[in-house]
Homo-oligomer: A and B are copies of this chain.
Amino acid sequence: MPLKEGDPVVVWIDTKRVYLIKLDKEKRLDTDKGVIFHKDLIGLEYGSSITLSTGVKAYLLKPTIHDLYSKGLKRPSQVLYPKDIGYILISAGIGQISKVVEAGTGSGFLTIALALSSNAKIYTYDIREDMLKVARFNARILGVEDRIVFKLKDIREGVDEKDVDAVFLDMPDPWNAIPKVYESLVPSAALIVFVPTINQIEKTYFAMKNSGIIDIHVEEIILREYQVKENAVRPKNVGIMHTGFIIRGRKSI
């Protein structure tokens, strides 16, 4: 299918030069390897490439969740990483869910990942209007804006939605939202919480347990990258050692 106005495209030059754009025939992408006019990409296919003025090739790829981290999206707040998102999605039963609630929205990376990976309608709560704006901007680039309801509301005051298939919390004090979140969940549905510090684990765990959540697990996902050169494979020397802890369980009644 040829690319058309409005399509999201990853422009991949090399590992360090990855750009996520939404095709707009009025716009251009400036890179240190050459300029790309969006209009020149219209009509091409995902997977094809163009040659820049420097002779370097730029490949056009269909965005996956990994590409959210390339240049193009805004991230004023800390974002979840793919290693965490993948695990969260399968814990939520991605593919079998139709209504999801999430708080806080932040830069919207998980929101977008949920939208890209499922057919669910996503209700995302944040108390900061500027964050909702950023998330909306990001969702628009990926073309999933209409799948998401952005709500300027403190989830600790209650969840408006009923019969929710999964709730995801990424906020400083999830334990204050858990009792109300529990009410909104369909029985057996997953509640998944992400916290950066260890101190938050215990409070979250017991708030979940005391609310009637069962099968609670506290886990951390660590990703190790390897560098491959001929006859010289090894883990990369420096990397992300920690993002946060995932606490997951399911509602019992």
Contact = CB atoms under 8 A, between A and B. Distances in A.
B49 A64 contact: no
A87 to B, nearest CB: 4
A151 to B, nearest CB: 22
Nearest to A222: B222
| Copies of this chain in the oligomer | 4
A86 B93 CA distance: 11
Given A90-B89, A223-B219, A62 B96 contact: yes
Interface residues of A, number: 81
Interface string A125-145: 000000000000000000000
Interface string A99-142: 00000000000000100111100000000000000000000000
Interface of chain A, main secondary structure: mixed
Contacts of A59: 214-215, 252
Contacts of A87: 82-83, 86-87, 223
Contacts of A48: 187, 252-253
A176 interface: no
